[in-house]
Structure 1
Amino acid sequence: MDERIRKDWPGNLDPNLTYFKGQKPLHEYLRDNARLNPERIAIIWYGREITYGELDDLSERFASFLSSSGVKKGERVALFLSNCPQYFIAHYGIQKIGAVVSPCSPLFKEWELEYQLTDMEAKVIVAADSLYDVVAKVQSKTKIEQIILTNYGEFLPDEPSLNVPAEICKPKPIISDVQDMLSVINDVKGSVPAVDVNMDDISLMVYTSGTTGKPKGAMLSYGNALFKTAAATQSNRILEKDIFLTVVPLYHIAGMLLGLNCPIYANASMVLLYRFDPITVLQAIDQYKCTWWYSVVPMNVAVMQVPNAGQYDISSLRTTRGTSFGINLTQEIAEAWAKFTGGCQICEGAYGLSETHTADTFMPSNAVKWGTQGIPTYETKIRIVDPETGKEKPVGEMGEIVISTPGAFKGYWNKPEESAQTLREGWIYTGDMGQLDAKNYLIFCGRFKEMIKVSGYSVFPEEVEAMLMRHEGIAQAAVTGVPDAQKGEVVKAYIVLKSGQSTHITDQNIMDWAKQRMAPYKAPRYVEFRESLPATGAGKVLRRLLKEKQN
């Protein structure tokens, strides 16, 4: 470990990373858990309990089916699913035969799915039957030969213990010329053929815009996934006895790490929800005594606003890690959360990116610094460099964040030039702006490509958004740059007001308020009120969609 990091390493954590069952793929951890504790509950799906033995057997059968269908090591298999038990079955089943999991957002429309399937050259897709129409419309334009469908309601119990979203209770449609996931699993006769898997082999390909351009497939290995899972588990003190609440989308890299891999690695149990609903979250924590939750901050705010929330006992919750998407996690929100839950600590989850399997930092629970993303995690180095010269910046100065980590990806699929631009001599050049303080805490300041240039001044959207959120009438804020003849660009703010504020607050009110509290070049020159802001399934606001609509 870097001496600078070791000097300030949290005293309640071992500075040396250890692996629970050695360095092997995570699907082998699943196999070990099933062998040693077959009756232990892995997943609770609205009351339906799936044991480790059952989960491993189902993924084994799916792996055997894929192999018998001709899927080979290294081939990409697309997953077009929201949260459900079938996601776990498919994810680990694909990796058990050395094939590559490539998630596609279930929010995708036709052109988005077509682009990703074409780029990854997938021949097989596992999809929810409710998304079949999207798949069918693009299949002829891609290399997809085999469509495997599943129904979200297939694992639901006869008498659910939690509120079930209406959209996953729809009858299973009859669709010809496709295969049904559970049917092929039940029909499997043979076992999974032995596959020689190296920890450096690619096991996951997640699409990201990277530092520029169209989405690219970031190739991540079995070793990348194990390292980040072990580091996140140890730094966050995740225990076998923990009961996770898994709500954040599994197809998102952070949801995959903390909602799918970490519980399996730790041999823990989890309550899995199809999507976020504040009342269902309260029901789940109350009924199943959840202890650990990875959330995005708007979820926590929504849960605290549920009328009569006090009727639910959520005192079992001991740890919440929250990511500031749309609403920044502040000390005030953290204190409100602790009071609401009866003592549960919430702090910033981590800084990370798809190219590193995320979680390059963590927030020490006994040394929280608000406004930062924590310190570099195990075996990870972070430097701040001048984006033009590459020279390292002094402590406290802003520059580009570059990272050296065992979680570093192997490059972008079929894009050697972009790979070489991002991966340089063992360091990942993130395209993000930030700074390190004297204690090595990282302060994330924004993306280069989203930086706004006003009369030569650099304006980072995240900074302006954080200041706007201090306005008592604003619920959410997003900021982009718009062209200006004199200044090059000026700031435009997209605002979602709190309930009941629309008749009291005007765009001029917001602009006048901002001028009094921000440097003139940062204060918004335009304000547009919205009912909601476009966001990913994980809750991250998509500023590019706001810019596209204004152009």
Structure 2
Amino acid sequence: IELYRHTIYAPFGRQREKLRRISAVDIEPDDATHTLVFVHGYGGSAAQWLYQLQFFGQTMRVVAPDLRGHGLSDDPVELPCAMENLVDDLELVLERLGVSRPFYLIAHSFGGAVATEYALRHPEDIRGLVMIGVPSRFIVREIVRRLLRVPDPIFSWVAKTIKVALYAPQRTLKRMLETALSKWRGQERLEQLRVPTLVVLGQRDNVFLREHYEDAARCIPGSQQVVIPVSAHLVQLERPDAVNRAIRRFIDARQQAARQADTINGIPTPASSTPSGLLARSNSAALHAARHAEMPWLQHYDGDVPETLPVPKQRLHDMLNNAARAFPNAPGLIFFGQKIDYRELDHASNRFAHALRSLGIKKGDRVAIILPNVPQYVIGVYGILKVGGVVVLGSPLSNEEEITYQLQHSGAHILLTLSSYRPMIERICARTAISQVIFTDVREYLPLRQRLLLANTMNEQVGARLSTPTLIEGNAEQKNDGEKSPGDSSSEEGRLIAPSERIVCRGHTWKHLAFQHLLHSQPVTPINSETSSEDLALLQYTSGTTDTPKGVMLSHSNLVMNVTQQRHWMTDAKRGRAVILGVLPLSHCYGVSSCMNLAIALAGTLILLPTQRIDQVMQAIKQHHPGFLPGVPALYLAIANYPRVRSYGVAAIRTCVSGSAPLPIEVQEAFEKLTRGRLVEGYGLTEASPSTHSNPLKGERRVGSIGLPLPATNARIVDVKSGETLPPGEVGVHTGDLALMDEDGFFTIIDRKKDLILAGPYNVYPRDVEEVLYEHPKVLEVAVVSMRGADENPSPFIKAVVVLKRGEKATADELLALCRERLDAYKVPKQIEFRSELPKNFVGKVLRRLLV
């Protein structure tokens, strides 16, 4: 349910810039039949409605706010905490979330007092009221009052020792007790209710006096009462099924009464609202069967994976806010041993958001990032989103022309990048609309003893491809603390980044700013982005494997939904405990979603690696024991072939999802044998945010298949020419990938349409040939491409480009003999070419066009 949290910002105090946060869970499935609003009690939180939100959230809209100072909601000292203020907060939540009226209001304990006051203030809003464990008076026992007088560190320790789950600090509890709880005149207020009410009691509930619980039902005119056996005060958690049935019966009775009233008044009843009992169950079974016939993959989902999911209304940066509130001291990032906890990460992104606002960034403005996997990348992304901006991601391994095109095309005005890229950036700024560049250094978040070592590594791995000439052209002029020689700006790693400089290059003026200086000059307070889930969050350029990169526009809803799908697919993942190894570049959509966003959504730890050197990957596995490793086939192949691989603790890796390229069977089997974890193949494309398919992580998987569509994903195979839907087993295309679906709903990518090889009258899929060559014990990597013959014989032919394992030697005849043994004659390559490595893009996908 944390993926469905929505943060509402409300100004307070004399300065309108000061904001407080109100957190609320909001789940709205398609075609929701009713709206249910849940209000928790004193010391509780929205999470105490977990089972009700899961059950009713499948067919109804459910909203559950955290009361002031409870859960993830703020409780500013400057604001009063009387009953009327709590009701005002509830009104604000319902207004901001656009909750339609009337709705069912369901409350527990002191939440029942808040609900009563709301129902008296707005009786027309309430379709029905459910009071769970609500007494007519809240007389707190003397031992609790004494405990609240104990200094807070001791108070929290005692509460934890006696296993009392409190979701509010002592300060909030004391204020609410004095100004709201003790002063509520329950009997008088309950007698004034004139809305249909159900009272639910736990049989053993003795938190408050029993007679006061029984008084509540007697005081409310016309109320119904249900006593749940073998349960106490938190009956909705102790006996969730019984409570859900009671609420369901109450809602059904209200619906039936409404239909009867409509009939008496001559109002026709829609046919869709009339089924009940056996007929309703029969219709539901028929719909279920029809759905499974249309989507056969649903029957192969792991047991805890839902068939469909409501679309979250959460914005991407809300995930970081929520993780920081729930797990402030947990490590969010680990960068070469340097830990950054969630509180620090949240504060840093708030500071960056304020800095961007001071630089003129407003909702919808583009801000570009060209960085490797460093903490500044994560801070930058979430800071841009918090100020309402749009993130434009560029790869530090792209060439100058590609980066220039992306910055021109996106319309970005501010760029966050490394100071070592400065020579190239100065040339780019002269050709784009970039007016301000924020420079940072890879060493800023490193442990002191590793700063020099890693900076040298980064210069070799990343900076070398970007910083070309060491001398700036003679017409570059720098103005800050006097004139500098043109060559001074070419070795930025050797000096501190100046707080601010104005640069004039080729007639174009831009401002140079220092990342850390910007952060330190800004507050850590939250900032209202004024965006919604439907607003643009990310402009992600495709990898350009086969064509010119395109800018894909992804909204908050696109990205959060994809994380939600992945989160529900990983049923064993525990919030606050997951450790993810971030080898995938965060400049690629795969890395954004499956590394950065998934880690934040799980409030887990993301281990950042700025390079893909296999020795650093192995050291990170040995030191941090990641349980989840998203990657590409080349990564798993390198790990499987690493010397003494088992000594690096690879057994800690339990889940791996391979994407971006076909996963060879030999690679899959070798990796799983070493780790005893689960390596499955998945599929995605940037336009889909990006993941769409995966093999089950527990149940049946099919070798060579990309698996099943993720929950709430529709997929079909269409004819290459006509676009008509094809039956199971037929090959079709729409996304550019040739694929087929079997009768059970498992999808298989045959190959890229552009990679298809025409061998006379036959179609040859490169993967068929590659799988055979991977079976040769001396072969490390292979890519099969179509070559055009000489002028006298222009017919295309098959060429296999092969990389051998370290120390191995093989001949072309040796490999061709294997192909002739296991392939049809028309699939056998005509030519074998040996190389030391295959050309790949920055995410690890083979660039076949460079092999032709």
User: Normalising by structure 2, what TM-score?
Assistant: 0.57
Question: Could you tell me which residue of structure 1 aligns to residue 677 of structure 2?
Answer: 344
For residues 110 and 452 of structure 1, do their structure 2 counterparts lie closer, same or farther at Cα, with a shift above 3 Å needed?
Answer: same
Give the secondary-structure state (helix, strand or coil) at the position aligned to 1:293. Answer: coil
Distance 1:317 1:193 in 2: 38
Distance 2:307 2:827 in 1: 43
Contact 1:478 1:493 in 2 (8 A): yes
Deviation at 1:223, TM superposition (A): 0.2
For residues 75 and 520 of structure 1, do their structure 2 counterparts lie closer, same or farther at Cα, with a shift above 3 Å needed?
Answer: farther
Deviation at 1:132, TM superposition (A): 2.2
Contact 2:392 2:539 in 1 (8 A): yes
Question: Could you tell me which residue of structure 2 aligns to residue 462 of structure 1?
Answer: 767
What does the per-residue CA deviation read over 1:103-155, in whole Å, with 9 as the maximum and x for residues that have no partner?
Answer: 11111111111111111121111112222222222221111111111111110
Distance 1:335 1:491 in 2: 27
For residues 517 and 381 of structure 1, do their structure 2 counterparts lie closer, same or farther at Cα, with a shift above 3 Å needed?
Answer: same
Give the secondary-structure state (helix, strand or coil) at the position aligned to 2:300. Answer: coil
Question: Could you tell me which residue of structure 2 aligns to residue 182 of structure 1?
Answer: 516
Question: Quick one: which amino acid aligns to residue 61 of structure 1?
Answer: R
Structure 2: any 5+ residue segments left out of the alignment?
1-287, 460-492, 503-511
Question: Quick one: which amino acid aligns to residue 384 of structure 1?
Answer: I
How does 1:119-138 map onto structure 2 within 5 Å?
A: 119-138=409-428
Deviation at 1:445, TM superposition (A): 1.2
Within the alignment, does 1:141 sit opposite 2:446 as a pair? no
For residues 340 and 14 of structure 1, do their structure 2 counterparts lie closer, same or farther at Cα, with a shift above 3 Å needed?
Answer: closer
Question: Quick one: which amino acid aligns to residue 427 of structure 2?
Answer: K
Give the secondary-structure state (helix, strand or coil) at the position aligned to 1:351. Answer: strand
Q: For structure 1, which segment, 429-438 or 484-493, has the greater mean C-alpha deviation from structure 2 after superposition?
A: 484-493
Give the secondary-structure state (helix, strand or coil) at the position aligned to 1:224. Answer: helix
Structure 1: any 5+ residue segments left out of the alignment?
401-428
For residues 449 and 304 of structure 1, do their structure 2 counterparts lie closer, same or farther at Cα, with a shift above 3 Å needed?
Answer: closer
Question: Quick one: which amino acid aligns to residue 546 of structure 1?
Answer: L
Deviation at 1:220, TM superposition (A): 0.6
Distance 2:587 2:707 in 1: 24
Give the secondary-structure state (helix, strand or coil) at the position aligned to 2:728. Answer: coil
Aligned mate of 1:204, from 514, 538, 548: 538
Deviation at 1:357, TM superposition (A): 0.8
For residues 223 and 545 of structure 1, do their structure 2 counterparts lie closer, same or farther at Cα, with a shift above 3 Å needed?
Answer: same
Within the alignment, does 1:263 sit opposite 2:609 as a pair? no
Contact 2:348 2:524 in 1 (8 A): no
Question: Could you tell me which residue of structure 2 aligns to residue 362 of structure 1?
Answer: 694
Deviation at 1:444, TM superposition (A): 0.4
How does 1:259-408 map onto structure 2 within 5 Å?
A: 259-323=595-659, 325=661, 328-330=663-665, 332-341=666-675, 343-348=676-681, 350-365=682-697, 366-400=699-733
Question: Could you tell me which residue of structure 1 aligns to residue 30 of structure 2?
Answer: none
Within the alignment, does 1:56 sit opposite 2:346 as a pair? yes
Question: Could you tell me which residue of structure 1 aligns to residue 335 of structure 2?
Answer: 45
Give the secondary-structure state (helix, strand or coil) at the position aligned to 1:476. Answer: strand
Q: Which has the higher contact order (CA 8 A, sep 6+)?
A: 1
Deviation at 1:369, TM superposition (A): 1.0
Distance 1:471 1:353 in 2: 31
Distance 1:5 1:77 in 2: 43
How does 1:3-14 map onto structure 2 within 5 Å?
A: 3=292, 4-5=295-296, 7-14=298-305
Question: Could you tell me which residue of structure 2 aligns to residue 111 of structure 1?
Answer: 401
Deviation at 1:11, TM superposition (A): 4.1
Question: Could you tell me which residue of structure 2 aligns to residue 494 of structure 1?
Answer: 801
For residues 211 and 189 of structure 1, do their structure 2 counterparts lie closer, same or farther at Cα, with a shift above 3 Å needed?
Answer: closer
Contact 2:306 2:568 in 1 (8 A): no
Percent of pairs identical after alignment? 31
Distance 1:431 1:209 in 2: 14
Question: Quick one: which amino acid aligns to residue 587 of structure 2?
Answer: Y
Give the secondary-structure state (helix, strand or coil) at the position aligned to 2:630. Answer: strand
Give the secondary-structure state (helix, strand or coil) at the position aligned to 2:716. Answer: strand
Distance 1:244 1:193 in 2: 28
Deviation at 1:41, TM superposition (A): 1.2
Question: Could you tell me which residue of structure 2 aligns to residue 239 of structure 1?
Answer: 574
What does the per-residue CA deviation read over 1:59-88, in whole Å, with 9 as the maximum and x for residues that have no partner?
Answer: 111111112211222222211111011110
Give the secondary-structure state (helix, strand or coil) at the position aligned to 1:360. Answer: strand
Within the alignment, does 1:157 sit opposite 2:447 as a pair? yes
Aligned mate of 1:251, from 569, 579, 587: 587
Contact 2:442 2:455 in 1 (8 A): no
Q: For structure 1, which segment, 530-539 or 312-321, has the greater mean C-alpha deviation from structure 2 after superposition?
A: 312-321
Question: Quick one: which amino acid aligns to residue 219 of structure 1?
Answer: M
What does the per-residue CA deviation read over 1:210-240, in whole Å, with 9 as the maximum and x for residues that have no partner?
Answer: 8974221010110000100010111023322
Question: Could you tell me which residue of structure 1 aligns to residue 50 of structure 2?
Answer: none
User: Normalising by structure 1, what TM-score?
Assistant: 0.86
Deviation at 1:371, TM superposition (A): 0.5
Question: Quick one: which amino acid aligns to residue 474 of structure 1?
Answer: V
Contact 2:309 2:712 in 1 (8 A): no
For residues 209 and 267 of structure 1, do their structure 2 counterparts lie closer, same or farther at Cα, with a shift above 3 Å needed?
Answer: closer
Give the secondary-structure state (helix, strand or coil) at the position aligned to 1:382. Answer: coil
Distance 1:218 1:467 in 2: 36
Question: Quick one: which amino acid aligns to residue 299 of structure 2?
Answer: D
Contact 1:127 1:147 in 2 (8 A): yes
Contact 1:453 1:488 in 2 (8 A): no
Within the alignment, does 1:519 sit opposite 2:836 as a pair? no
Deviation at 1:337, TM superposition (A): 2.9
Contact 1:373 1:442 in 2 (8 A): yes
RMSD after superposition: 2.6
Deviation at 1:486, TM superposition (A): 5.0
Contact 2:300 2:700 in 1 (8 A): no
Give the secondary-structure state (helix, strand or coil) at the position aligned to 2:381. Answer: helix
Question: Quick one: which amino acid aligns to residue 441 of structure 1?
Answer: F
Question: Quick one: which amino acid aligns to residue 196 of structure 1?
Answer: E
How does 1:88-99 map onto structure 2 within 5 Å?
A: 88-99=378-389
Give the secondary-structure state (helix, strand or coil) at the position aligned to 1:49. Answer: strand
Question: Quick one: which amino acid aligns to residue 235 of structure 1?
Answer: W
Within the alignment, does 1:430 sit opposite 2:763 as a pair? no
Aligned mate of 2:553, from 216, 219, 224: 219
Aligned pairs, number: 511
Deviation at 1:16, TM superposition (A): 4.5
